[in-house]
């Protein structure tokens, strides 16, 4: 396999810039960073030191008088905000088991483990020195945030530099990053360096590390990791010195010549990404799979299970990518790495950390979820903290559709059935919150996960019900083309779909995402009228929707009556030309009932049903269907 060199990486970055210019995109300024980091790892002590040179491009119209950095690992200390928050949520009872035992709202990966860490088990990131344009700066650490009041403000549309020396201790594996995870991976190095916070049209985002999501500045990374040569390293980006490293990075026929000494220096370059992750273990096996336009890398610890499941995963990637590329857009980088490590599954640019000892089915599922994050977190990259439903939800939607489309036993089945069931449980619970809630500010983990993953996924699936699946799918490609590398927000997405469909959709976001109002439609009454029948439909819930209403007569003839919502100012196309469709006058959102006249005598009715596709998230479907006596 061919590995890009530094010049190739610069070319890729330039290509990304020309791509943005040649494809129409909404105009939104973006800050830019360029990191050069050199770190020395003391593996036996679980510590490392680092030097960071950062070029910061202030592309905003604002003068910046201060900057902020993330110091994520400071969360892994007793009494931290993450520790306190986890223990507080762990006191909340969210249900009972079948045998009557109370179920608590723990994040089971964290629980109360941070409170019990010993000094040599905690994590920390200490800034030893910081210079701005060569001048030492004063700074203040507020746990996981470093605040720097600059002696010289950064002018609009200017470039400035920061130089930092730092040291860190790798925490025991608890959440996403750390040492010695449950599957035996030595180092899962996520959120491992002091990282500049994002500044955008909403201002600074110095979000403390409490539990969940991330937001980063686009830029280029040049990272050198000096470490005991017994370790194999997997990382974001392209390895620049494979001839010195080997371990499966070398091209066919390349002669690997490792330098003398105890350590190896691994040099990676990553263009146009917003974060950098790496992992290391002496037992990693490294295999690759050529895909359409890039190379997929796989790093796992060999055992009787992984020696079967990981090569099987590699073989499935080309087929999965063919579906992803057609429905969500092309992967723009030249490689992607699936890395065994972490505490479950966590996405980063060009790589993911995933648990690896499970079944082949489970491994494929988590791999597809984390890889789909490359689109919605890696490239589109909404602010996950503010819009977790746009990241986790859209990713879940994509994951399920990819899995069902590429698994023979699942083809033809509806991918979203279990997702809807999970949302219905949330809607029936006291734990549902407005889906625009900041990801760290949910009252329960249960409410967060069901809102972000399930309700967010249903937002997309149900959008297909409103504007048509094919229109939505075309809109997802348009969304990718228009907003890739732009940090879109909820309004940006809705506007893309409005332009794609010609339908107004602001009401949909307002009701389904910005409120906790539920959808519930029912058949109220049936009134015979000679050769016709009037069916009174009732909006029982508080959220209005367009209605598909299927009528089947006793001869087996089918007619789909379509009632748009007047707020849409348009109608979706006919999704099934094989079924006769009759478009009726729109339903006013203020009106609780709608009288639908159908062209079938009451005596000839076999069945009538609201939304036979079940894509509408109707919380009570018991009143959706009637069958002739």
* DSSP codes, 298-367: EEE--STTHHHHHHHHHHHHHHHHHHHHHHH----SSEEEEEE-TTSEEEETTEEEE--SS-HHHHHHHH
> What pLDDT sits at residue 22?
39
Q: What is the mean pLDDT of residues 621-626?
A: 97
Separation between Cα atoms, residue 187 and residue 178, nearest integer Å = 6
Torsion sign across C-alpha atoms 337, 339, 342, 346: positive
pLDDT at residue 12 in the model: 38
Using the predicted structure, report yes or no on whether residue 173 has a pLDDT greater than 50. Answer: yes
pLDDT band at 424 (very low <50, low <70, confident <90, very high): very high
- 209 falls in which pLDDT band (50, 70, 90)? very high
pLDDT digits 0-9 by tens, 68-106: 999 999 999 999 999 999 999 999 999 999 999 999 999
Residue 611 pLDDT grade (very low, low, confident, very high; cuts 50, 70, 90): very high
Euclidean distance between CA atoms 301 and 174, whole angstroms: 20
For residue range 181-193, what is the model confidence (pLDDT) as tens digits? Answer: 999 999 999 999 9
Average pLDDT, the chain: 95
Angle (CA) 260-266-270 rounded to 5° is: 160
244 SS3 class: helix
User: In b/e form, how buried is each residue of 255-272, taking b as 16+ CB within 10 angstroms?
Assistant: eeeeeeeebbbbbbbbbb
- Tokens for 599, please give them: 């062209």
Pairing verdict, β 124-132 and 335-340:
unpaired
Residues 251-267, mean pLDDT to the nearest whole number: 95
Contact by Cβ (8 Å): 381, 394: no
Which position has the higher pLDDT, 140 or 24?
A: 140
**pLDDT score at 67:** 98
Nearest residue to 349 (alpha-carbon basis) of 379, 369, 327: 379
Tell me what the mean pLDDT of segment 540-552 comes to: 98
Residue 494 pLDDT: 98
Report pLDDT digits (tens) over 80-90. Answer: 999 999 999 99
The kind and range of the H/E element at 254 are none
Predicted local distance difference test score (pLDDT) of residue 212: 86
Roughly what angle, to the nearest 10 degrees, separates helices 469-483 and 306-328?
90
Q: How do strand 145-154 and strand 580-583 relate by DSSP bridges? A: unpaired
How many angstroms separate the Cα of 511 from the Cα of each of 542, 554, 564? 9, 38, 16
Pairing between strand 219-228 and 32-42? parallel
* pLDDT beyond 80 at 455: yes
**pTM of the full structure:** 0.94
pLDDT computed for residue 560 by the predictor: 98
CA-wise closest residue to 453 among 373, 391, 400? 391
**Helix or strand holding residue 507 (H, E):** helix 506-512
The residue with greater pLDDT, 24 or 573, is: 573
The C-alpha atoms of residue 397 and residue 476 are separated, in whole angstroms, by 12
Percent of the chain exceeding pLDDT 70 equals 96
Backbone phi, then psi, for 45, in 5-degree steps? -90, -5
pLDDT of residue 13: 40
Among 167, 206, 193, smallest CA distance to 67 is for 206
Task: Using the predicted structure, report yes or no on whether residue 574 has a pLDDT greater than 60.
Answer: yes
Residue 242 has pLDDT above 80, yes or no: yes
- As a whole number, mean pLDDT of residues 143-169 equals 98
DSSP 8-class letter at 114:
G
Q: pLDDT band at 167, cuts 50/70/90?
A: very high
φ, ψ (nearest 5 deg) of residue 523: -85, 115
Q: Give, for 44, the enclosing helix (H) or strand (E).
A: none
pLDDT digits (tens, 9 = 90+) for 8-57: 343 434 334 433 433 456 778 999 999 999 999 999 999 999 999 999 99
| Res. 628 pLDDT band, cuts 50 70 90 | confident
**What is the average per-residue pLDDT within 212-236?**
96
Q: Counting every residue, how long is the chain?
A: 629
Q: Rounded to whole angstroms, how far apart are CA atoms 275 and 220? A: 9
| Residue 3, pLDDT above cutoff 50 | no
Position 25 scores a pLDDT of 62
Compute CA 196 distance to the chain's CA centroid, rounded to the nearest angstrom. Answer: 21
């Amino acid at each position: 396999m061919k590995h890009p060199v530094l010049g190739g990486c610069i070319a890729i970055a330039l290509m990304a810039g020309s791509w943005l210019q040649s494809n129409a995109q909404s105009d939104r300024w973006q800050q830019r960073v360029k990191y050069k980091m050199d770190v020395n790892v003391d593996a036996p002590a679980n510590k490392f030191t680092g030097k960071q040179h950062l070029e910061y491009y202030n592309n905003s119209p604002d003068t910046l008088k201060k900057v902020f950095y993330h110091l994520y690992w400071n969360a892994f200390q007793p009494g931290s905000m993450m520790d306190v928050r986890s223990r507080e949520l762990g006191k909340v009872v969210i249900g009972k088991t079948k045998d009557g035992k109370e179920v608590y709202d723990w994040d089971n990966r964290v629980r109360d483990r941070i409170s019990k860490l010993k000094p040599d088990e905690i994590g920390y990131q200490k800034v030893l020195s910081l210079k701005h344009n060569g001048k030492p700066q004063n700074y203040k650490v507020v746990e996981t945030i470093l605040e720097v009041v600059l002696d010289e403000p950064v002018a609009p549309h200017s470039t400035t530099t920061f130089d930092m020396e730092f040291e860190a201790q790798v925490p025991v594996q608890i959440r996403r990053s750390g040492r010695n995870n449950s599957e035996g991976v030595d180092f899962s190095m996520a959120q491992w360096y002091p990282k500049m916070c994002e500044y955008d049209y909403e201002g600074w985002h110095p979000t403390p590390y409490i539990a969940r999501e991330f937001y980063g500045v686009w830029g280029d990374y040049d990272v050198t990791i000096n470490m005991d040569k017994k370790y194999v390293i997997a990382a974001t980006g392209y390895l620049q010195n494979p001839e010195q490293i080997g371990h499966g990075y070398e091209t066919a026929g390349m002669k690997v010549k490792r330098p003398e000494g105890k350590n190896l220096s691994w040099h990676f370059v990553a263009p146009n990404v917003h974060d950098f992750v790496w992992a290391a273990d002496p037992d990693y096996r490294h295999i690759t799979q050529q895909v359409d336009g890039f190379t997929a890398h796989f790093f796992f610890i060999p055992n009787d299970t992984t020696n079967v499941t990981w090569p099987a995963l590699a073989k499935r990637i080309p087929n999965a990518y063919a579906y992803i590329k057609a429905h969500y857009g092309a992967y723009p980088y030249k490689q992607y790495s699936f890395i065994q490590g972490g505490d479950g599954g966590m996405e980063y640019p060009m790589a993911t950390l995933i648990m690896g000892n499970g079944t082949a089915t489970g491994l494929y599922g988590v791999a597809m979820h984390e890889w789909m994050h490359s689109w919605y977190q890696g490239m589109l990259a909404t602010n996950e903290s503010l819009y977790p439903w746009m990241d986790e939800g859209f990713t879940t939607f994509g994951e399920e559709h990819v899995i069902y489309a590429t698994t023979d036993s699942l083809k033809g089945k509806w991918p979203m059935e279990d997702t809807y069931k999970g949302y219905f449980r949330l809607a029936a619970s006291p734990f549902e919150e407005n889906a625009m809630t900041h990801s760290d500010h949910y009252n329960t983990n249960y409410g967060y996960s069901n809102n972000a993953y399930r309700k967010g996924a249903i937002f997309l699936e149900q959008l297909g019900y409103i504007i048509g699946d094919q229109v939505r799918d075309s809109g997802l490609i348009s969304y990718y083309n228009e907003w890739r590398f732009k940090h879109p927000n909820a309004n940006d997405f809705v506007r893309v779909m409005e332009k794609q469909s010609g339908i107004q959709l602001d009401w949909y976001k307002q009701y389904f995402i910005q409120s906790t109002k539920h959808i519930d439609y029912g058949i109220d009454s049936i009134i015979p009228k000679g050769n016709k029948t009037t069916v009174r439909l009732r909006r029982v819930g508080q959220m209005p929707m367009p209605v598909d209403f299927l009528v089947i007569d006793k001869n087996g003839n089918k007619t789909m009556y379509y009632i748009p919502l007047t707020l849409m100012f348009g109608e979706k196309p006919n999704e099934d030309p094989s079924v006769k469709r009759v478009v009726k006058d729109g339903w006013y959102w203020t009106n609780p009932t709608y009288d639908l006249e159908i062209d079938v005598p009451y005596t000839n009715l076999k069945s009538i049903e609201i939304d036979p596709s079940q894509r509408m998230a109707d919380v009570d479907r018991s009143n959706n269907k009637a069958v002739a006596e």
